Amino acid sequence: MTEYLVRFLVGGVVVSAFAMLSDVLRPKSFAGLFGAAPSVALATLGIAVYRHGPDYAAFQSQAMMAGAIALAVYSVVVCHLLVRARLRAAPATLLSLVVWLIVAFGLLTLAGGQT
């Protein structure tokens, strides 16, 4: 229980810090880089190293590569849904999560990832 409380607090602080940095930076296209900052990764990998050791964290970061590629595809799809399909941000970002899941798990399967 304590571990999950620590996760919640560390995750909340790191994500908020990156989000605020994104708010104050200009131009907006540059600030957008911080929308894909590894905030959750920093918090989670820090806890993973402490709790399970470097091997476990290395394994997680290898799978993260597939997640990052899926994130790039996801962001392009969101951009097109906003500009071409003229969807609002909430439905565009939520619908595109399906794309992220397909690409991420597809790449993990191709790479022979263990579950």
Partner 1 sequence: MTLIRFSPSSLREGRWYEYLIRFALGGAVTVFTGLISSRYGPSVGGLFLALPAIFCASATLIEKHEIRRKREAGFAGERRGQGAAAVEAAGAALGALGMLGFAIVFSLTVESSILVAFIGSSLAWLVVSVAAWRVRRKMRSVRKASTCYREP
**Chain residues 67-106 in contact with partner 1, contact rule CB under 8 A:** 67-72, 74-76, 78-79, 82-83, 86-90, 92-94, 96-97, 100, 104-105
Min separation Cβ 37 and partner 1, Å: 6
Q: Which of 2, 37, 98, 102 binds partner 1 (CB under 8 A)?
A: 37
CA gap 90, 29 in Å, rounded: 19
Q: Which of 1, 2, 28, 110 binds partner 1 (CB under 8 A)?
A: 28
Min separation Cβ 103 and partner 1, Å: 10
CA gap 78, 82 in Å, rounded: 6
Site for partner 1 in 2-21 (CB under 8 A): 3-4, 7-16, 19-20
Q: According to the binding rule CB under 8 A, does residue 115 interact with partner 1?
A: yes
Contact between 103 and 74 (Cβ < 8 Å): yes
C-alpha 25 chain-centroid distance: 20
Q: Which of 1, 62, 102, 110 binds partner 1 (CB under 8 A)?
A: 62
C-alpha 4 chain-centroid distance: 19
| Distance (Å) of CA 13 to CA 18, 32, 38, 59 | 9, 19, 13, 25
Number of residues that bind partner 1 (CB under 8 A): 86
